[in-house]
Structure 1
């Protein structure tokens, strides 16, 4: 009997060792991974000004990093001061920009790089040194060798004022109550508008809440001509981010919509229910049927910019927070959201927004 027990023990040990060897073959964390060659930049010396705030000032490119497992690789940029890239706390203060999956380059415009430089503490209007490296991540993170940049940042001017947008989206053309677009730079204004079904897309742009001076369309819809009787036209129904540049006499409209998402909403976790922009209260709103479940807020029907709440009582949601507002009872709800995102391109999105979810 003892002989059979010993044989069973030996057989079990062999099976265990075989299984262990097979599992070892699947382990990848001990295999070396690195960038196959150096990263590159379009320039190493950059003088930033307000005039180049919207220009492409830096292109960072890198080679594809191969991990032992075939899966998407996520890349990001890290910027830091030269003195903060060594020692026990190396790169802990770095500014990180996630680029995306299997993307091998990233272009930065002037205001993006200026914000990074100022946030890291480079002096205004003085040459300073930054370093940039690329992060590649899958089952772990690996980093490229850094490149040193000489950057001269500028101080963004404090601007005031607004321009007005009377148009068919109001239901009636009324410059006294028209949407206002606040200034975000010298001569540059930005805001939001929703064109509801049944309302027209046309509008004018007025410098005051009167008709003493206004702009209409020129040869192209995007051209601004002083006192032109030809209306501008938005692309159609929906919500848009409007940018007006009196320096270049051009304007643009880009699709831009906040929405609710979650298993408490009609679209679940995959499709946002869009909200409409109330230009009079500067608030995003929607009336929707909810079921018991969670509700979060996200921009443009994707997860790049999203907010989640830590509870269902204080009406505050936090940028990139994993939490959500839990709705315990199904029914029709009015949901409002307010966010100070006047100039997200240069200032980023704020850490919080405020909201209400009220059963009707």
Structure 2
């Protein structure tokens, strides 16, 4: 009998302690949290245009949400198509924009809202429906009731042919002789530039060889803004492949240089008997002639061309008696006499990223 009395005592103690713990530490996730009132939008019908791309076209605002825990609340705004907001996969395809902690509104410029609308599938020039809601997150996520928007996006006009890059790499800004960036697809342009020591890094992007329309830096150095006064900046001296996307209003600069390589470019060293084959001499890009060029003191020996000091892309002559060089060819030119040489390399690159490199290029090797 005593054994059973002890078991009852222990069971009672456990129940008492459990009740005490529950009263001291509330399970906050069991408390209901809601948006105290509806969210608001500045307009529910929006006709977007390229002229208002940089203007605030939509303001979404919401009331403060109170959670049982005293901590910052992180808010986000979600956009989606009406058809994707119900069922098992509701809101899974939504575009989500994090706003921040304890922030109670978010403004959208025309360019950003246009991208959201078209990315979700709305057709340019056609009124379509989007829904927007606000997410509040702390120990869990809760959502406001959605609001339906009628949005007419636009298709951005793009320039075909060439755009131009006046800048300090020229010595001074000169749009008449600036590097041309060639269209490689709709609204996307590519070109090359070499920034020599002592020149500034600033440049602009112009749609013609005049100053009627140009782009300068926007929110960041890599954002394009129409007729913006702040200049863009290159990373520093060196050669770069420049890409400009007028569809997304972004640009990028990637270190990029053709170079000469081979036993003629450098004598063996105690540490590396193949030093000349393992270290390219970079060439500089002449944007006016669209050729790569270097003047170098060469030894008697072999010479060929490669990209970015690597063997991934290289050219050698199938017939060393000609100026034609072939991609991935093992041949090399024979430099018979030491001396100073001026060497050029010309290649017709359309879009290496998608089309690869051409089968042949041309070069000149002239002793000074």
TM-score range, shorter chain: 0.5 to 0.7
1:236 corresponds in structure 2 to 236
Q: Work out whether 1:308 is the aligned partner of 2:316.
A: yes
Cα distance in 1 for residues equivalent to 2:208 and 2:265: 41
Q: Work out whether 1:284 is the aligned partner of 2:289.
A: no
1:160 to partner: Cα distance:
4.6
Which string of whole-angstrom CA distances, capped at 9 and with x for unpartnered residues, describes residues 11-38 of structure 1?
A: xxxxxxxxxxxxxxxxxxxxxxxxxxxx
2:190 corresponds in structure 1 to 190
Matching of residues 1-360 of structure 1 within 5 Å: 160-266=160-266, 268-360=276-368
Contact 1:191-1:342 within 8 A present in 2 as well: no
Cα distance in 2 for residues equivalent to 1:347 and 1:211: 33
Cα distance in 2 for residues equivalent to 1:251 and 1:160: 16
Contact 2:221-2:233 within 8 A present in 1 as well: yes
Q: For this pair of structures, how many residues does the alignment match?
A: 202
Cα distance in 1 for residues equivalent to 2:218 and 2:321: 51
1:274 to partner: Cα distance:
0.2
1:312 to partner: Cα distance:
3.1
Contact 1:310-1:325 within 8 A present in 2 as well: no
Larger Rg: 2
2:117 corresponds in structure 1 to none
Contact 1:297-1:308 within 8 A present in 2 as well: yes
Which string of whole-angstrom CA distances, capped at 9 and with x for unpartnered residues, describes residues 41-72 of structure 1?
A: xxxxxxxxxxxxxxxxxxxxxxxxxxxxxxxx
Cα distance in 2 for residues equivalent to 1:203 and 1:233: 6
RMSD: 1.1
Structure 1: which 5+ runs fail to align? 1-158
1:309 to partner: Cα distance:
0.9
Cα distance in 1 for residues equivalent to 2:237 and 2:325: 28
Cα distance in 2 for residues equivalent to 1:227 and 1:354: 39
Cα distance in 2 for residues equivalent to 1:169 and 1:293: 34
Moved over 4 A (4+): none
1:91 corresponds in structure 2 to none
Contact 2:160-2:187 within 8 A present in 1 as well: no
Cα distance in 2 for residues equivalent to 1:160 and 1:350: 23
The residue matched to 2:229 in structure 1 has which SS?
coil
Give the TM-score normalised by structure 2: 0.54
Cα distance in 2 for residues equivalent to 1:314 and 1:214: 43
Give the TM-score normalised by structure 1: 0.55
Cα distance in 1 for residues equivalent to 2:347 and 2:201: 25
Which string of whole-angstrom CA distances, capped at 9 and with x for unpartnered residues, describes residues 81-101 of structure 1?
A: xxxxxxxxxxxxxxxxxxxxx
The residue matched to 2:277 in structure 1 has which SS?
coil
Cα distance in 2 for residues equivalent to 1:357 and 1:310: 16
1:311 to partner: Cα distance:
3.5
Cα distance in 2 for residues equivalent to 1:271 and 1:329: 21
Structure 2: which 5+ runs fail to align? 1-158, 267-274
Cα distance in 1 for residues equivalent to 2:349 and 2:262: 23
